[in-house]
Structure 1
């Protein structure tokens, strides 16, 4: 019963990571496309809050429940799909703090432009592009992790199996 409860929490945390993470990402993209500093500042403030208080804790729940599930099921840390998913998870996680800091920076830049009635400058666009592409890399990694969790195979093993 403990295993099933942990698995449930692990899946819910993954849903939160993807749901809130992708939702925040898409909302900030949509807000930025308006080029309206007031809209961007408002959305960025909410995105930073959601990512700080919901998405980030879900990542920690993933680590804890994943470790406990591994132990309960008798899997070794050196099991190929487990090790590969952990490496990718920590790589994605290493993008997380910079992404969060960039989101805060985008929020401050948009709020400042709004206060003085100015348009967003090239510096905003440069920070936005960096944030955007780090998000693309992070979500690509998360998609691969979910694939491994579902199939219990690394991408190379899955590709070999399909060919």
Structure 2
């Protein structure tokens, strides 16, 4: 019963991590496309809050519940799909703090532009581009991790199976 409860918690955390992460990513993209500093500032402030208070704890729950699932199932950490998932998870996680800091910077820059009644400058667009592409990389990694969670195979193993 403990295993099933942990698995449920692990899946719910994955949904929160992926869902809130993707939702906030898409909202900030949509807000940025308006070019309106007030809209961007408001959405960026909310994105930073959601990512800090929901997405980040969900990532922590993922690690803790995944560890206990691995232990309870008797699988070693060196199991290829688990090790590969962890490596990708920590790579994606290493993007997380910079993304959060970039989001905060976007918020401050948009707030300042809105208060001054000016448009968004080239520096805003440079920061936005970094944030955008780090998000693409992070979500590609998350897609691969979910694939491994479902199939219990690495992408290489899955590709070899399909050939």
Structure 2 length normalisation: TM-score? 1.00
Deviation at 1:63, TM superposition (A): 0.1
CA drift at 1:155: 0.2
Structure 1 segments unaligned to the other structure (5+ residues): none
* 1:99 corresponds to: 99
Q: Is 1:148 aligned with 2:148?
A: yes
CA distance in 2, matches of 1:129, 1:65: 34
Q: TM-score, normalised by structure 1?
A: 1.00
Once the two structures are TM-superposed, the CA of residue 30 in structure 1 deviates from its matched residue by 0.1
> Which structure 2 residues correspond to residues 7-156 of structure 1 after superposition, within 5 A?
7-156=7-156
CA shift, 1:128, in A, is: 0.1
Task: Quote the offset at 1:69 in angstroms.
Answer: 0.0
Mark the runs of 5 or more structure 2 residues left unpaired by the alignment. none
Q: Quote the Cα distance in structure 1 between the aligned partners of 2:18 and 2:89.
A: 13
**What number of residue pairs does the alignment pair up?**
163
How far 1:34 sits from its partner (Å)?
A: 0.2
1:87 CA drift (Å): 0.1
